[in-house]
Amino acid sequence: MSYTKHIVIIGGGFCGTMTAVNLIRDAKSPLKITIINAGAPFILGVAFKSYSSKHLLNVAANNMSAYPEDPMHFTKWVKAREEYKEFETDLLAKTFLPRNLFGEYLQHIWDTTLGTKRNDVDVEILEEYVTNLEFMQNNSVKVILQNGGSVIANYIVLATGNSLPRNPQITNQDYFSSVTYFRNPWHPASVSTLNQTGDVLIIGNGLTMVDTVMGLIEKGFKNKIHSISANGFGVLPHRHFGIQYTGLVKELQTRFELYKLVGIVNKHIKKVRKLGVSAGPVIDSLRPYSQRIWESLSLDEKKKFLSRLRHLWGVARHRLPVFIFDIIQKLRIEGQLVVHEGTIINITETDQLANVTFFNSKKKHEETLTVQRVINCTGPESSIYKTLNPLLRKLAEKKIISSDPLELGINIDVKTYNIINAEGEKINSVYTLGNNLKGQLWETVAVPELRLQAQQLSKILLEVCAETKLKVPS
């Protein structure tokens, strides 16, 4: 007798949705899938439902297909739309399209998948927070919801995605409850209801800072926008997009030593610069190897990378479409955007204004800025001990999930996506993917990696469902 297996996916952003899409498409026997999502819109997550149509994908269309085996799937879907019909497919493939358009593409995939699913594949969506997991005698797992309810499943997928950024280290912790502080830079409120009499400070100088600047300008904000980070402005444009450089990969070994690798990369960057080509194509050529490189580095090398090279790697890897870069440069030249290199020491609030004291590392002295708003654009928190996600904190506290030594994510068995508990044991009923794998894979944030993970994980889940004879308790 065969029983319907029940898979609960916690988190309904790109990873959760695409895991479900692959499960529904490939299921050969009865299956129940429940996606439990709250906090960001189902299917779109934090990335693909933006408050601004000016927010663009940072990966070109030809690398944004939801299916690894069909790289042009997204481009072809775009080309079929009335507003893009006049453009050649090759041109569309190389462009950076709006993030909201990608959201519509994911919605289309979801609707099509549901429209063609088998009758014995049952799909349920719950809009609720998951706060805990309890393991039951019969190998099933009780998923505890914030509303007091629960769901029982055979397998769990943690697709929890992007957590809110970490608060800056300042002495006045009370500041974080101030109305002038915006910890969620992806929420439309972060750029809304500003008055025209005060400046704004953005913490962070990466791609989220650029999105926030674009959002503020779109809202008609005319005052100064300050931004601050330890290294100053850290975003480069895609200057030589489309050039495929092959010289570097020929020299890659199977055991990568960090400093030898840095030497080889620098040599190739110098070489292409002789032709007036930027470092971009050299760095891009490493992308298919970056997970393998990270896995082969020793802990000591990983620590060195994080302390000395992380910033440079981020600058080289996460680049901007040239015309957005030009807008940012223009704002800097005109003086509306002022970039500071330094570290925030403290923030206090008086009369609904934030007084931010920071050490200016260029000028080597303390300065104070008074602003009407502070927006945290430092990027998602990756530590399971510091995240605001109640589920991950609870699972870490119960030692069901464990962190890598650098607190970048959750320990897993990279071959099966199963989580590893604090005792080093594999938990066969719980899987994870996406950002949570950063400690073990490093590059695991963008669609080209995530689509593959979603596909591999769904294959594994369908295999284990076929092997086990577990009954879903009702």
Ligand X SMILES: Cc1cc2nc3c(=O)[nH]c(=O)nc-3n(C[C@H](O)[C@H](O)[C@H](O)COP(=O)(O)OP(=O)(O)OC[C@H]3O[C@@H](n4cnc5c(N)ncnc54)[C@H](O)[C@@H]3O)c2cc1C
Q: Does 434 bind ligand X (CB under 6 A)?
A: yes
Among 29, 32, 38, 338, binds ligand X (CB under 6 A): 38
Spatial CA neighbour of 180 closest among 168, 170, 167, 194? 194
**Interface segment toward ligand X; rule CB under 6 A; list 51-59, 190-198, 215-223, 272-280:** 51-59
Q: Does 210 bind ligand X (CB under 6 A)?
A: no
Degrees, nearest 5: CA angle 90-94-95: 120
Among 84, 93, 100, 161, binds ligand X (CB under 6 A): 161
Maximum C-alpha span of the chain: 74
Q: Does 190 bind ligand X (CB under 6 A)?
A: no
Q: How many CB atoms lie within 10 A of CB 324?
A: 22
The CB-of-31 to ligand X minimum distance in angstroms stands at: 20
Q: Does 45 bind ligand X (CB under 6 A)?
A: yes
Nearer to ligand X, 127 or 463 (CB): 127
Nearer to ligand X, 160 or 229 (CB): 160
**Interface segment toward ligand X; rule CB under 6 A; list 21-29, 42-50, 212-220, 252-260:** 42-50
Q: Does 452 bind ligand X (CB under 6 A)?
A: no
The CB-of-91 to ligand X minimum distance in angstroms stands at: 19
Nearer to ligand X, 358 or 431 (CB): 431
CA separation (Å) from 434 to 4, 161, 394? Answer: 27, 6, 19
Among 106, 130, 213, 400, binds ligand X (CB under 6 A): 130
Place of tokens 């913490």: 203
Nearer to ligand X, 54 or 224 (CB): 54
Nearer to ligand X, 199 or 381 (CB): 381
Those residues with Cβ within 8 angstroms of residue 263's Cβ, 6 or more apart along the chain or in another chain: none
What is the distance between the alpha carbons of residues 102 and 61, in angstroms, rounded to a whole number? 9
Q: Which positions from 84 to 123 touch ligand X by CB under 6 A, shown as an x/- string? A: ---------------x------------------------
Q: Does 383 bind ligand X (CB under 6 A)?
A: no
Nearer to ligand X, 67 or 175 (CB): 67
Helix (H) or strand (E) holding 199: strand 199-203
Among 34, 212, 389, 411, binds ligand X (CB under 6 A): 389
Q: Does 11 bind ligand X (CB under 6 A)?
A: yes
Q: Does 358 bind ligand X (CB under 6 A)?
A: no
The CB-of-334 to ligand X minimum distance in angstroms stands at: 26
Place of tokens 């008609």: 220
Q: Does 14 bind ligand X (CB under 6 A)?
A: yes
Spatial CA neighbour of 102 closest among 173, 143, 150, 53? 53
**Interface segment toward ligand X; rule CB under 6 A; list 275-283, 353-361, 402-410, 439-447:** 439-447
Q: Please enumerate, as own/partner, the contacts of 244-247 that have beta carbons within 8 Å and a separation of 24 or more.
A: 244/281, 244/285, 245/272, 245/277, 245/281, 245/282, 245/284, 245/285, 246/285, 247/271, 247/272, 247/282, 247/285
123 bridge partner residues: 33
What is the distance between the alpha carbons of residues 425 and 68, in angstroms, rounded to a whole number? 31
Nearer to ligand X, 374 or 445 (CB): 445
Using CA of residue 127, residue 39, residue 98, residue 277, what is the dihedral sign? Answer: negative
Helix (H) or strand (E) holding 94: none
**Interface segment toward ligand X; rule CB under 6 A; list 44-52, 104-112, 169-177, 359-367:** 44-52
CA separation (Å) from 437 to 17, 18, 353, 382, 390? Answer: 17, 17, 39, 10, 18
Q: Does 165 bind ligand X (CB under 6 A)?
A: no
Residues at the site binding ligand X, with contacts judged by CB under 6 A: 10-16, 36-40, 45-47, 57-59, 99, 129-130, 159-162, 186, 389, 391, 434-435, 445-447, 450
